[in-house]
Structure 1
């Protein structure tokens, strides 16, 4: 009899924080100037890379789960968001599945990355294999920005750009090095060093936010200058530093917000509807004070996250996520 692996609450807590930052980032995006832009830049530097790292750690190429947990939700919500844009918001958009709608790029990318796992596993039998896999993923991520033809279509640019973080999570699990990583980043000296580096990154964002193009952080477009590949490498480095610092300080046991991370999928899938209505009706646009607006955006983000991950909401949407795979529902 195979014993069930103990749940790693660290990842639940990380995902809870990250999904909250996803919602917060989407709320403040229309107001990304001044201090709000600094906060936006800082969040977008690491929140998706770390989320993808977590996904890579737990990823497995299970055909049934790919169908029920990834492909079906993608098709369903690609259709629902099309209906929202076309019939409620009166926007003209083409109905198709080859270019993911806005936030659904992550779901589409995850399908591709998971399908690549049988290939990735061929390199997991030695240290040289792991190193080669990580280096190759970095080269793919950096090189992808050199091709104008790679963009939003099939999320090709983002699939390549964020691939290294998926590979890092995948390799960490296959090499069984999580405990080693936690031991290193938990050391007092390492935490102080990481904190200092994060402070430097934040200071740089404060000093140069007007010169930083947000497209550098999205990973969805090609470079416009040859030097931009250096910027992508710098963004990779900053994302790694902030992620390691967050891993070092996030609680590793079960806490009051752990359940949010355990049920981050409905937050991810449904918060986009609220964001579109907020954009349509200019929510928070009447608040002139940027600091108070950030504060309200934070409160609103927490309210949305706790609502969409709550048991009553999950119970309501479970039939939607379960159809048409009776008995094989997506865990909300």
Structure 2
């Protein structure tokens, strides 16, 4: 005989969602990536008068933003966006982008006398935030195709042949580094991290090979620094200009970009191999990459604009000082105090912006993961 006892409400019987285990490797990787970003921006003015600075600059720029894109792609979803995902594109990317662009417009007006607000031209570092928004929007469509990573590489190579695709809405850079974002997403689909136990440990032979790869790249840049400066290799790593603009007018210029994509992939892999797997002094800082990325440019701006980092101030001592200062900036901007102060700008609350939900429309889920993949406790 069937039981006549009333069924308990689903909320009372459903087990609680398991707590997501925090993996120190990813926090370490995010902080290492963002610190390289700050170092690269910090020493940029030194490169004009210092080969030492230019060598370090090329070494970093060969892989630091692609590595950042790989991490962001690894934590991205390719499912058709629901209401929650669409809201997050607005609150996590578009709204902070607009806020920071307005602030930059005011700063540049006060310091440089520039007038005009043009959000279609991202200010300095904001291009990557806009790129993350575009990545999120196109990924569900891209994965409908067979071999999405191959298509991403084709798009990246092909966009260089179109001179009319430029920095407007960061399209040239976005399409240029798209393969690395898709590679990050694809790495999760392939289960590389779990299958090869990438997060758990790395043997010393593998670490030794990674050190060898990075050392070989550093040595190559050091030996051929004058030729690479003449070639302006750093501009190729920006992905923000056509081949014609870069001086690569030959039809095979796309092969150069393909070679650089392959080089960057190898360097990024070596970089990730060397990231610590266990909790370290920098693990907690990896929860605040959005704050460091959006705010560090305001700290470096005075140094860049006053012309201090030129001429006699481009010595090796100044280079080392700027590297250490950049690390300190990354640590300071990752602090809980900075997060509390700048939370309204970096992670604005925008419930007032959205239409009221209907009766059958569930309340949006709270998410602590930002566009870079950082998840705060």
1:9 aligns with 2:34: no
- List per-residue Cα deviations over 1:265-301 (Å, max 9, x = no partner): 1111111112221112234447546221121001211
Q: Relative to 1, partners in 2 of residues 1:178 and 1:93: Cα closer, same or farther, differing over 3 Å?
A: farther
1:94 aligns with 2:116: yes
- List per-residue Cα deviations over 1:231-250 (Å, max 9, x = no partner): 21222122112211121121
1:207 aligns with 2:207: no
* Counterpart position of 1:221: 241
Task: State which of 303, 312, 316 in structure 2 corresponds to 1:291.
Answer: 316
Q: Relative to 1, partners in 2 of residues 1:50 and 1:145: Cα closer, same or farther, differing over 3 Å?
A: same
1:136 aligns with 2:161: no
Q: CA deviation at 1:34?
A: 0.6
Superposed, 1:214-293 pairs within 5 Å as 214-224=234-244, 225=248, 226=250, 227-285=252-310, 288=313, 290-293=315-318
* Counterpart position of 2:60: 43
2:160–2:243: 8 Å Cα contact kept in structure 1?
Answer: yes
2:91–2:349: 8 Å Cα contact kept in structure 1?
Answer: no
Question: Considering only aligned residues, what root-mean-square deviation do their CA atoms show, in Å?
Answer: 2.3
**Larger CA deviation: 244-253 vs 316-325:** 316-325
1:78 aligns with 2:101: yes
* Counterpart position of 2:342: 317
TM-score (norm 1): 0.90
Q: Relative to 1, partners in 2 of residues 1:80 and 1:288: Cα closer, same or farther, differing over 3 Å?
A: closer
2:91–2:348: 8 Å Cα contact kept in structure 1?
Answer: no
Superposed, 1:187-206 pairs within 5 Å as 187-206=203-222
Q: Relative to 1, partners in 2 of residues 1:301 and 1:108: Cα closer, same or farther, differing over 3 Å?
A: same
Highest Rg: 1 or 2?
A: 2
Q: CA deviation at 1:93?
A: 4.7
Q: Relative to 1, partners in 2 of residues 1:287 and 1:304: Cα closer, same or farther, differing over 3 Å?
A: farther
Task: State which of 78, 88, 104 in structure 2 corresponds to 1:65.
Answer: 88
* Counterpart position of 1:126: none
Q: CA deviation at 1:217?
A: 0.9
Q: Relative to 1, partners in 2 of residues 1:329 and 1:133: Cα closer, same or farther, differing over 3 Å?
A: closer
**Larger CA deviation: 194-203 vs 237-246:** 194-203
* Counterpart position of 2:193: 178
Counterpart CA distance in 1 for 2:175 and 2:254 is 13
- List per-residue Cα deviations over 1:92-142 (Å, max 9, x = no partner): 25312212111110011110100112213435xxxxx4xx11111111111
1:45–1:239: 8 Å Cα contact kept in structure 2?
Answer: yes
Aligned to 2:62, the other structure's residue is in SS state helix
1:141–1:161: 8 Å Cα contact kept in structure 2?
Answer: yes
**Larger CA deviation: 51-60 vs 204-213:** 204-213
Counterpart CA distance in 1 for 2:113 and 2:257 is 33
Counterpart CA distance in 1 for 2:338 and 2:213 is 40
Q: Relative to 1, partners in 2 of residues 1:149 and 1:182: Cα closer, same or farther, differing over 3 Å?
A: farther
Point out where structure 2 has 5 or more consecutive residues left out of the alignment.
Answer: 1-15, 353-365, 371-375
2:76–2:136: 8 Å Cα contact kept in structure 1?
Answer: yes
TM-score (norm 2): 0.80
1:78–1:97: 8 Å Cα contact kept in structure 2?
Answer: yes
**Larger CA deviation: 238-247 vs 187-196:** 187-196
**Larger CA deviation: 154-163 vs 57-66:** 57-66
Q: Relative to 1, partners in 2 of residues 1:121 and 1:317: Cα closer, same or farther, differing over 3 Å?
A: same
Q: Relative to 1, partners in 2 of residues 1:181 and 1:65: Cα closer, same or farther, differing over 3 Å?
A: farther
Counterpart CA distance in 1 for 2:198 and 2:348 is 43
Point out where structure 1 has 5 or more consecutive residues left out of the alignment.
Answer: 124-128
Q: CA deviation at 1:182?
A: 4.5
Q: State the number of aligned residues.
A: 324
Counterpart CA distance in 1 for 2:335 and 2:273 is 27
